[in-house]
Amino acid sequence: MSASPTPATGSRAVAPGRWRTLDIVVVAVVAVAFGVVFWAWNYVWSAADPLFAAFKPAQYVLSGIWLLPAVVAPLIVRKPGAAIFAELVAASVSALLGSVWGLDVVLSGLLQGAGAEVVFAAFLYRRWGLPIAAIAGAGAAVGMALHDLPIYFPPSAGYGLEFYVPVVIAMLASGAVVAGVGGHLLVRALADTGVLRAFPAGA
């Protein structure tokens, strides 16, 4: 690891090193916290169903909450695998607490984390600014789409492009804005408090 870390708001960071025990613990804590948020957000999602009865795809503007760990955890520790690790743990906690979607949320978490992971990997885990966070949030949304559309809205049930296109647009927008921009701002706010001093994001 380089001896000259970059600020949390910068677009470049030090080359990724080995995972420290501290990194594992912090990502796990972040993931567990978001797992509880996921569990609560499941009920918000269900309660919001009537508001989107006229146009179901629009409900996916709320979906970015489920993608936040895939952006927040990597931005903090800046290690390969953080997006998948965080999303898997968060989804597992949600399932254990009683997700309405059961264990299927674990598969969903895996794909969402992988979607964000691909983006960070494409930039060799060296760029961590706001644009990359937004793209990573959108990448996580791609993972969500790959999971949700064939499982919950299969063509055999009568769904087609007129449904899929607006759903994907809503997912991508929510992923980029809520998970990407929102996650970046959350990490910046944490860094400003000094609690991330032991991590590249807080240097």
The pLDDT, as a whole number, for residue 110 is 97
Task: Give per-10-residue mean pLDDT for the chain (203 aa).
Answer: 38 61 96 96 93 95 97 97 97 91 92 98 95 98 97 94 97 98 97 92 79
List phi, psi (to 5°) of 183: -65, -40
pLDDT for the residue numbered 14? 42
168: tokens are 């994907």
| C-alpha to C-alpha distance for 7 and 186, rounded to whole angstroms | 15
pTM for the model = 0.88
Contacts of residue 79, defined as CB under 8 A and 6 or more positions apart, other chains included, come to 16, 17, 19, 23, 125
**pLDDT computed for residue 100 by the predictor:** 80
Please provide the DSSP assignment of 23-55 as one string: HHHHHHHHHHHHHHHHHHHHHHHHHHGGGGTT-
pLDDT at 202: 79
In this structure, are residues 200 and 5 in contact, taking their beta carbons and an 8 Å threshold?
yes
Residue with tokens 């492009």: 161
pLDDT confidence of residue 15: 45
